[in-house]
Amino acid sequence: MNRQALGWILAGGLLVAAQLPAQPINDLLTRVASMKNDQSTRMEVEIELRHRGTAPLHLNKTKRRGVSVIESGPDGVKKITSRDLSSSSRFSFWSKAAAEDEAPLMNDVDAEELVNPAGMMEVFLSEATLLSDENVTWRGRPARLLVVRPALFERSPKEGKAPAGDEPTPLAAEARIWLDENGVPLAMERGFDFRLGPALSVTERQELIFQQVDGRLFVAEAQETYSGTGLAVLRSRDDRKVKVTSVR
């Protein structure tokens, strides 16, 4: 199962809404709404992808590095141009063409998150629950840390009964958001877990570092890990690193 497939599962209604947001979340939503990017933008990014998949009598490892240019406007991403900087290395016990089933360096969903993270945060924080609010430091500077649970969480057992062993138990893990003294997002960490009894387990972890350009919020760096297990013998892991080199 890939990341897009997990999104379809979550959108399919396996998760339910949480409580209404606390005031600090409302304040954050107001702030990010003022920093949405609805202008024509050209962003250049460097990307590194790693994949490892295992199955009985099978091992598949790939590594790719490349660059993408994202062009977006008021209606979202318009064009993505990608170029591999190095040939993808591939090793497999099963004979298979190197380019077969190779994912693009950058897709529309990920590109939109890079050029307009404020829009993503509006959706993600809608009806979220505030778990904690404290003063901390982030990379040596004073910051405020909000820990929230988004409105996607493990659904309550019906009639007080524990879920059966084969019943889906999707979870939305806690999200951590660091803010500067003006309430502007500095960074965000979030993750999702999904389990379908012993048959399927999927985990995703993401870290975003933000930047401001002309009052608009953009991603400066992103790291993501996606791993899954199926039937206890099929395993895969994907790691992605993205660094934004230019925004204009």
- The three-state DSSP-derived secondary structure of 150-165 is CCCECCCCHHHCCCCC
Q: Which residue has the higher pLDDT, 30 or 192?
A: 30
DSSP state of 40: -
> Could you count the other beta carbons within 10 Å of the beta carbon of residue 181?
9
Say how far apart CA 114 and CA 106 lie, in whole Å: 11
Q: Is residue 39 pLDDT above 50, yes or no?
A: yes
Say how far apart CA 150 and CA 129 lie, in whole Å: 6
| Single-letter code of the amino acid located at 170 | P
Q: Return the pLDDT at 148.
A: 94
Tokens of 20: 């209404």
Q: Is residue 158 pLDDT above 90, yes or no?
A: no
Say how far apart CA 66 and CA 23 lie, in whole Å: 42
Q: Is residue 93 pLDDT above 70, yes or no?
A: no
Q: Is residue 12 pLDDT above 60, yes or no?
A: no
Q: Which residue has the higher pLDDT, 124 or 16?
A: 124
Average pLDDT, the chain: 80
Q: Is residue 66 pLDDT above 80, yes or no?
A: yes
* Alpha helices by DSSP H, the chain: 3-9, 23-33, 108-115, 117-125
Tokens of 225: 């890990």
Inter-axis angle of helices 108-115 and 117-125, nearest 10: 100
Residues 130 and 146 sit within 8 Å (Cβ to Cβ)? yes
Which pLDDT tens digit goes with each residue over 191-246?
A: 877 777 666 778 889 999 999 999 999 999 999 998 888 765 577 888 999 999 99
Tokens of 161: 């009964």
Q: Return the pLDDT at 7.
A: 47
Tokens of 93: 């016990």
Residues 236/15/144/178 CA torsion (nearest 10 deg):
30
DSSP state of 174: -
Q: Return the pLDDT at 51.
A: 84
Tokens of 59: 């091992």
Q: Return the pLDDT at 228.
A: 81
Which pLDDT tens digit goes with each residue over 106-155?
A: 999 999 999 999 999 999 998 899 999 999 999 999 999 999 998 765 44
Say how far apart CA 75 and CA 123 lie, in whole Å: 17
Say how far apart CA 45 and CA 152 lie, in whole Å: 30
How many CA atoms within 13 Å lie on the side-chain side of 74? 0
Residues 112 and 119 sit within 8 Å (Cβ to Cβ)? yes
